[in-house]
Structure 1
Amino acid sequence: MKPLSLALASLVVVVAACSKDPPPATQTTAAQPETETKTATNVEPKSATPAIPAVAADAPDAELGKPAPDFTLKDLDGKETKLSSFKGKVVVLEWFNPGCPFVNKSHTKGTLKEAAAKHAKSGVVWLAINSGAAGKQGAGLETNKEAVKKYAMANPVLLDEGGEVGRKYNATNTPHMFVVDANGTLVYRGAIDNSPDGEGETPTGGKLISYVDEAVAAVTAGKPVATAETKAYGCSVKYATK
């Protein structure tokens, strides 16, 4: 009996030893998914990094010292005008609304009167842009054609009824002026002058200053624009309601 008891005892020890071996292996296997999960968790923030440019895309398109946003708009004759086609020349952009009293005063009595014609003599391109939506003040083909005759405008008037270009430049008023240098860089934005009445009769500080004239003169001479930004005055741009 003793030999049999010893044999049974040995068998129990062997079986017990075998039953103890698997758990460590099982624990090791279970630990692997945890490691993978942690690794995957650590990788997720990295994969989110490309989303950063999407935030930057919401920043204003037109920024001083940077390339002026390109655009293509049709003039009153249906001819397309592309900003980048004038690279190599200084370009003035004038946000325009013939129904706005400030625009009317400036074009008949103030700084805008014959301004485009004066600058054209030195090779400056002057583009008037109307971002008013259809049916709003100063909008429409015929209204703008009448204004061209009234103000004796020789420069193109471009229609932006959808307001895409106006919003690119964050044009808020009429008139709102922008100057682009020969390299296509935006160098000035703001008011046409320092006389918020539009007529040039009550300039701030007593002396009438055309900020556009100063900006054009500076870039033509290869100098930085001393006053690169001012607050525009006038009527609000009559954008389409979103």
Structure 2
Amino acid sequence: MTLRHVLLLPLLLLACNKEAPAPAPEAKAPEGKTSAAAAAASDKPAAGAEIGKPAPDFTLTDYEGKTHHLADYRGKIVVLEWFNPECPFVKASHTKGSLKGYSKRAVEKGVVWLGINSGAPGKQGHGAERVAEGRKAFGMENPVLADETGKVGHLYGATNTPHMFVIDAQGTLVYRGAIDNSPDGEGESPKDGKLVNHVDAALEDLAAGKPVRTPDTRAYGCSVKYGS
């Protein structure tokens, strides 16, 4: 990690902590690092989401009003991306790092990619308007689902944005953790000197009919802005 990234990380953490003012009521669609500790997820396994077990089912509505039921995607590989359009790590990854254009490429290969915003009302990145602005800025075409109660986020043990989960065609959770091994979000400070996109590696293993070689990593980024 360069000196630039050492100096930049505290600023990103501070920006993650800034919460947006409470949004005005919106007519369309249901709406869904404070410290180094906040930048990385806890090692505690999520109670409802375990590697090698069926991924917890859920039903959520996206910001354009369409309902998504996870079970309806059985037979396809599904990637879940915990999303906060105002999180600086999300911005960095979608504009410079491993998430830049990645969801579109994955969808073109038949993957179902669902963003999930578990931010509560009044929190950073909450609301249809902010999500729409983020999707446009990042060139995202995949839907983003509103989870403003945080129920699904807590069910999966999502702690950071971005926090990634890969579900195979049989509905089994096969990967959870960081998008890559570069905790600056920009892909410029990979551990061991080589950038590894963990989600891409998991998808490659699934395509080859092999077990996912690295099924669990520690997520980095902003804390998910739960209401409680």
Which TM class, normalised by the smaller chain length? 0.7 to 0.9
Q: What residue in structure 1 maps to residue 50 of structure 2?
A: 63
The answer as to 2:82 corresponding to 1:95 is yes
After the TM superposition, which segments of 4 or more aligned residues of structure 1 sit over 4 Å from their partners? none
Superposed CA RMSD in Å reads 0.8
* 1:38-187 superposed matches below 5 A: 60-187=47-174
Structure-2-length-normalised TM-score = 0.79
SS of 1:92's partner is strand
What is the rounded CA distance, in whole Å, between the counterparts of 1:79 and 1:125 in structure 2? Answer: 15
The answer as to 2:222 corresponding to 1:209 is no
- 1:196 deviates by 0.1
SS of 1:209's partner is coil
Residue deviations 1:198-228 (CA, integer Å, cap 9, x gap): 0001100111000000001111221100000
Q: Show structure 1 runs of 5+ residues with no match.
A: 1-58
Residue deviations 1:142-195 (CA, integer Å, cap 9, x gap): 110111111111100001000000000000000000000000000000000000
- 1:85 deviates by 0.7
SS of 2:193's partner is coil
Larger helix percent:
1
SS of 2:205's partner is helix
Q: Which moved more, 1:212-221 or 1:165-174?
A: 212-221
- 1:122 deviates by 1.0
What is the rounded CA distance, in whole Å, between the counterparts of 1:235 and 1:65 in structure 2? Answer: 27
What is the rounded CA distance, in whole Å, between the counterparts of 2:114 and 2:200 in structure 1? Answer: 15
What is the rounded CA distance, in whole Å, between the counterparts of 1:223 and 1:122 in structure 2? Answer: 18
What is the rounded CA distance, in whole Å, between the counterparts of 1:122 and 1:150 in structure 2? Answer: 23
Q: Show structure 2 runs of 5+ residues with no match.
A: 1-45
Higher relative contact order (CA 8 A, sep 6+): 2
- 1:94 deviates by 0.3
Q: How many residues align?
A: 183
Structure-1-length-normalised TM-score = 0.75
- 1:79 deviates by 0.9
One of 218, 223, 241 as aligned partner of 2:210: 223
Question: Equivalent pairs: percent with the same residue?
Answer: 64
Structure with max Cα Rg: 1
